[in-house]
Amino acid sequence: MSEKFTGSFTQQEALPEAAIEAALNVMRHGRLHRYNVVEGELGEAALLEQEFAAQLGAKYCLAVASGGYAMATALRAVGVKHGDKVLTNAFTLAPVPGSIAAVGASPVFVDVTEELTIDLEDLAAKADQASVLMLSHMRGHLCDMDRLMKICDDAGIIVIEDCAHTMGAAWNGVASGRMGAVGCYSCQTYKHVNSGEGGLLITDDAEIAARAIMLSGSYMLYERHLAAPPPELFERVKFETPNISGRMDNLRAAILRPQLRDLGRQVARWNERYQKIESGLRGTPGLTVVERPEAETYVGSSIQFLLLDWSAQKLQDVISRCGLRGVELKWFGPPEPVAFTSRYDSWRYVAPQSLPKSDRILAGILDMRVPLTFSLEDCAQIARIIRAEVSTVYQAGEA
């Protein structure tokens, strides 16, 4: 009888005891609002910002309600206005074009490569169409960031990095989020730290930081931020920057601080599991493993592989057969969105755009979460199941 995996692809690890105790402390005193502090107290949200900025070597940090809010705030803070165009990846998740639409701007999609990163040739060709790039490090894949920044610097393009899947990753030793003008991170349950919802924004630009803090709803309490520019910066922007409230509260910040201190160990654990699955998939007939460049330090919290140029029916067969054996695969190919796997042509608030190269690649991408609740033995079993079912369908007829 064929083996079957019985684990859950959506079950996260329990929060660490230090996070639970920190949350209880906040609940005991009741000061959940980030600016509700007693004399001499440094609130959890302010401490989180200070610690995350230091962890990444950034000057400024802002904690907000979600990663999507961080991206929209970054766009507003760098000056994107209603009617502007913003470059972004064709392969991404809905909150990325959603953040662009939230500020009244329009996405211009850039092709994806077989490495699942932004196509730098297509980016260079479209560089004259917008002055801002919302760069999505989709599913944790980093492009050649040195080359990307050269293209953008030469064209005068401001880069905002969506690091929802790359907290803890780096390119040539530079942390993800530190090469663009702004780095945006998610703390949603399925990301690398878990507060249910939440986001972080970092920058070295004092004016961007001041505008972001005012946008987040600081009122005139900006001096309570520990990772903020000096008060005189706020004098320049405080009367012209709207309050679009999206603050993080002290409860979520308290939960996050211990997790961030343990991020390096968690990254190593994810990568052990990713590499176990990857090694088990190598050499599978018809399956392409996404190779990781030497310059990339990645976080394997999910894994993708390609069944390029397979028919939709054969892809569906693989997904169904793996599903019957307990392995949940997501596909970016269907014409209608399923869960989070929407495509650039699913977002019908955006003017239609033709990207045949991306269409081919998106049609072959299969995606799977790698939660830390999986053991290495689980990962080996999952790889065996995928390998067997892909091989079976492939051998049943030419894909």
Cβ atoms of residues 78 and 208 within 8 Å: yes
184-189: long-range contacts, CB 8 A cutoff, minimum separation 24:
184/67, 184/70, 184/71, 184/74, 184/160, 185/67, 185/70, 186/66, 186/67, 186/68, 186/70, 187/67, 187/252, 187/256, 188/66, 188/67, 188/164, 189/12
Instruction: Supply the DSSP string of 262-299, one letter for each residue.
Output: THHHHHHHHHHHHHHHHHHHTT-TT-EE-PPPTTEE--
Same domain, 328 and 245: no
Same domain, 31 and 98: yes
Is the residue at 1 inside a domain? no
User: By C-alpha distance, which of 207, 212, 157, 211 is closest to 179?
Assistant: 157
Is the residue at 328 inside a domain? yes
Is the residue at 295 inside a domain? yes
Q: What is the CATH number of the domain that holds 174?
A: 3.40.640.10
Is the residue at 286 inside a domain? yes
Same domain, 300 and 283: yes
Give residue 386's identity as a one-letter amino acid code.
I
Same domain, 126 and 151: yes
Q: What is the reported pLDDT for 244?
A: 96
Same domain, 283 and 387: yes
Is the residue at 7 inside a domain? no
- Mode of pairing for the β-strands spanning 132-136 and 106-110: unpaired
Cα 267 from Cα 296, distance rounded (Å):
14
Is the residue at 10 inside a domain? no
Instruction: Summarize pLDDT for 4-45 with one digit per residue, the tens.
Output: 999 999 999 999 999 999 999 999 999 999 999 999 899 999
Same domain, 269 and 255: no
If one counts the domains in the chain, the total is 2
Q: Which of 228, 261, 294 is at the close of a domain?
A: 261
Same domain, 201 and 302: no
Which residues of the chain register pLDDT less than 70? 1, 398-399
Same domain, 371 and 253: no
Same domain, 240 and 297: no
Residue 144 neighbours by CB distance under 10 Å:
18
Q: What is the reported pLDDT for 1?
A: 46
Q: What is the reported pLDDT for 399?
A: 47
Q: Which of 261, 287, 308 is at the close of a domain?
A: 261
Q: What is the reported pLDDT for 336?
A: 84
Q: What is the pTM of this model?
A: 0.96
Q: What is the CATH number of the domain that holds 333?
A: 3.90.1150.10
For residue 231, what are the domain limits?
Answer: 17-261
Same domain, 350 and 221: no
Same domain, 204 and 304: no
Q: What is the reported pLDDT for 390?
A: 98
Q: Which of 229, 261, 293 is at the close of a domain?
A: 261
Is the residue at 5 inside a domain? no
Same domain, 131 and 248: yes
